[in-house]
Amino acid sequence: MDIIRTKADLRNRVNSWRSAGETVALTPTMGAIHEGHLSLVRLGLERADRCVGTIFVNPRQFGPNEDFATYPRDEDGDFAKFETAGCSAVYAPGPEEIYAPGYKTEVIVHDISEVMEGASRPGFFTGVATVVSKLLIQAMPDIAIFGEKDYQQLAVIKTMARDLDLPMEILGAPTVREADGLALSSRNAYLSTDERQIAPALHAAIVAAAAAVQSGIAPAVAAEQARKAVLAAGFQQVDYIDIRDQDSFETATDPGENLRIFAAAKLGSCRLIDNIGI
């Protein structure tokens, strides 16, 4: 597996595969690779001849009081996992390859990025849309794959790629979960042993709320029940539990088609997010 540090080398590598008639998938990550990321690689290799994993802890998507400095980093371990999963290359650029001195440009996706994660974490989606547009332009893959665990992020990236005419397919991959329902996340490493026992309550609460909506309970009532269940389980704060249309992200007023339940809540120093289709 090639370890690539510069956008020039990345372009050359991708161009050489393309000249040989091969297709290329890209799986952007911030490292701390787990089974969820590796499922993206496997999906990439089902859909393309080559897969390139990327590792870049993007400073522009962290708020001033967030965990940029302490975000888990294990480059050698991540390289080994990407290689075992079948990546042909990993792109792990230094900050100057992404944000050169004098860098001034941002990509803002309006509307769908202003609710939920966007409201709780100002600037987050601008940071994500900016770095992902750059990674896509640097690599020019045929397909790029992102996890549905970050469903709103996936929607923002799809919208950004469509609006900027980026010529690649953006594909979502199903959330990978622990046996007790907890969605895999690099930030789960922050959970203490006791918090790890409590953490699956978030998924359990949204599963129960989804079932309630399916049985005809009003979305607002089901979401409120889920909020209470999550706090009763031991979470300190619920940022949101919302039932919305999964394309427009408008709040659902009645049980109906195309709905999804989205949740974010804090447990100790860890902020967990999850979502499921209803």
Question: Is residue 242 within the footprint of ligand PAF (CB under 6 A)?
Answer: no
Question: Which burial class, exposed, middle or buried, applies to 157 when counting CB atoms under 10 A from its CB (0-12, 13-18, 19+)?
Answer: buried
Provide the terminal-to-terminal Cα distance of the chain, rounded to the nearest Å. Answer: 40
* Region of 23-31, 72-80, 159-167, 210-218 interacting with ligand PAF (CB under 6 A): 23-31
Which C-beta is closer to ligand PAF: that of 153 or that of 259? 153
3-state SS string for 224-269: HHHHHHHHHHCCCEEEEEEEEECCCCCECCCCCCCEEEEEEEEECC
Compute the least distance from the CB of residue 176 to ligand PAF, in Å: 13
Question: Is residue 44 within the footprint of ligand PAF (CB under 6 A)?
Answer: no
Please state, in angstroms and as integers, the Cα–Cα distance from residue 208 to each residue in 13, 225, 227, following that order.
Answer: 47, 9, 11
Which C-beta is closer to ligand PAF: that of 73 or that of 228? 73
Q: By the 8 A CB rule, do 135 and 62 touch?
A: no
Identified binder of ligand PAF from the candidate list 26, 29, 91, 200, rule CB under 6 A:
29
Question: Is residue 259 within the footprint of ligand PAF (CB under 6 A)?
Answer: no
Cα angle for residues 120, 96, 14 (degrees, 5° grid) = 95
Tokens matching residue 256? 């109906």
* Region of 41-49, 72-80, 125-133, 210-218 interacting with ligand PAF (CB under 6 A): 125-133
Tokens matching residue 161? 């790629």
Which C-beta is closer to ligand PAF: that of 173 or that of 252? 173
Binding mask 144-183 for ligand PAF (x = CB under 6 A): --x---x--x------------------------------
Identified binder of ligand PAF from the candidate list 39, 58, 138, 246, rule CB under 6 A:
58
Tokens matching residue 220? 């607002």
Active site residue 37: yes
Per CB under 6 A, residues contacting ligand PAF are 28-30, 58, 61, 128, 131-132, 146, 150, 153
Residues forming the active site: 37
